Amino acid sequence: MDLTDIIDIVVKKYNIDCIGLFGSRARNDHNEYSDYDLFIIAHIDLDTELILESEFETLLNAPVDLISLSKDTDVILLKNIMNDSVILYNQNDKYEKLYSFVENFFIENHDFLKLREHDLIYG
């Protein structure tokens, strides 16, 4: 069973708007022991998210690190994940909407972020 088949199974079972792959497998620099770094955009509770992570591990026969993304997620983390992500499933433009939110945050806060970066580097 390949990743596409697994995604089809999972989206039919859970209320998921988007699934993406990031990290070493998305960059194609993984090895046979690498985990799957997956993100979801979904309306599920933490218990369901943990069940879903376990289900992915069973279906992929590999360790999985699953993270749920939203506008409440740290924007630096969102940006880092989105920089090397591969979208596996996307419904109702949920990924694009979250991406636009992150992009707008960095545009609107550019000056502050530059000052903060300077403070972090030079004290």
Q: Residue 114, class by beta-carbon neighbours within 10 Å (0-12 exposed, 13-18 middle, 19+ buried)?
A: exposed
pLDDT the model gives residue 110 = 81
pTM for the structure as a whole: 0.85
pLDDT the model gives residue 78 = 94
User: What is the CB-side half-sphere exposure of residue 114 using CA atoms within 13 A?
Assistant: 5
What SS3 class is residue 42? strand
Taking only the tens place, the pLDDT of each residue in 48-59 is 999 999 999 999
The DSSP output letter for 73 is S
Taking alpha carbons only, the member of 12, 5, 19 closest to residue 85 is 19
Q: What is the mean pLDDT of residues 11-25?
A: 94
Distance of alpha carbon 17 from its chain centroid, rounded?
12
The structural domains of the chain, ordered by start, are 3-122 (3.30.460.10)
